Amino acid sequence: MKVKVVLVLLGITSILIIAFTQFIWNSVPEFWLYGAEIGNVLFNLSIGYLSAFIFYIIDIWIPGLQKRKRVNFRVKMPLNRIVSFMEAPLVNIVKRYGEDSKNINTLSSEEFKEITERIDLINDQGDLFFIDANRNANFGEYLYYHVENVEEYINSILKMPFEYEIELLELLDQIERSKYHEMLNSIKNLSGFRGPVQAKGEATSNTVYEYYYLCSQLKKYMNKQGILE
């Protein structure tokens, strides 16, 4: 974005230089040696830059904008699903282990960590019911259910035949490789959240807070692209 602003400013400057050299510079007496030559150099440089800038707009910027619109149209739904599956358990954590009046978006990092230190993945009940097993999920299984869905939607995005912005790819990679995902996947593989493995306290709070931060970064990116619902 900053590069585009600089390019536009240079384009405006070039137009001003062309207007100045043609209508003002050339109509006044030459006050110093090589004044006319300097004016010609500035004029030619400005004309050259404007030509290149017009080529950039027609050949690169407009096609890039159209391509980005197509990509955003395709990834809008899965990205919003990712945000939903990331954010829902985080909001649930704050409501369950914090105070009802607390808003997840206004919590300080210390408040957030203090709340998430109270999580007991194995012994606390989650807001999820397994019909086949005819039982409620524990909190770890509830969180893992959302992680599974996040990873599925990330994979569905990466399978699409598009070239994505580096920023988006890095965000998705950070989410998929986050300590939060790593922790829940490890517990799932070790005990299926039913065995003796315990995960609570500071270790849990740090991973959950990191996940909250990644979710906020993804929302910020989507808002910038105009695809956040």
What global pTM score does this model have? 0.77
Question: Which 3-state string (H, E, C) describes 203-219?
Answer: HHHHHHHHHHHHHHHHH
Residue 8's identity, in one-letter code, is V
Q: Is the Cβ–Cβ distance between 92 and 212 less than 8 Å?
A: no
Residues listed for the chain: 229
Residue 203 confidence (pLDDT): 62
Residue 83 confidence (pLDDT): 97
Q: In a 3-state reduction of DSSP, which class is residue 51? A: helix
Residue 32 confidence (pLDDT): 57
Q: How far apart are CA 216 and CA 123, in angstroms?
A: 29
Q: How far apart are CA 122 and CA 161, in angstroms?
A: 40
Residue 98 confidence (pLDDT): 83
Residue 192 confidence (pLDDT): 78
Q: Which of 81, 137, 112, 108 is nearest to 207 (CA)?
A: 112
What does the DSSP 8-state code read for residue 26? G
What is the number of other CB atoms lying within 10 angstroms of the CB of residue 101?
6
Residue 36 confidence (pLDDT): 64
Residue 44's identity, in one-letter code, is N
Q: Which of 22, 20, 21, 8 is nearest to 50 (CA)?
A: 8
Domain extent listing, the chain = 2-60, 73-225
Extract the residue ranges of the chain whose pLDDT is less than 70: 1-2, 23-37, 39, 100-101, 195-203
Residue 171's identity, in one-letter code, is L
Tell me the C-alpha to C-alpha distance, in Å, between residue 218 and each of 31, 123, 160, 172.
Answer: 58, 31, 19, 8
Residue 56 confidence (pLDDT): 83
Residue 191 confidence (pLDDT): 80
Place of tokens 């282990």: 97
Sign of the CA dihedral running 51, 52, 58, 62: negative
Q: How far apart are CA 113 and CA 211, in angstroms?
A: 12
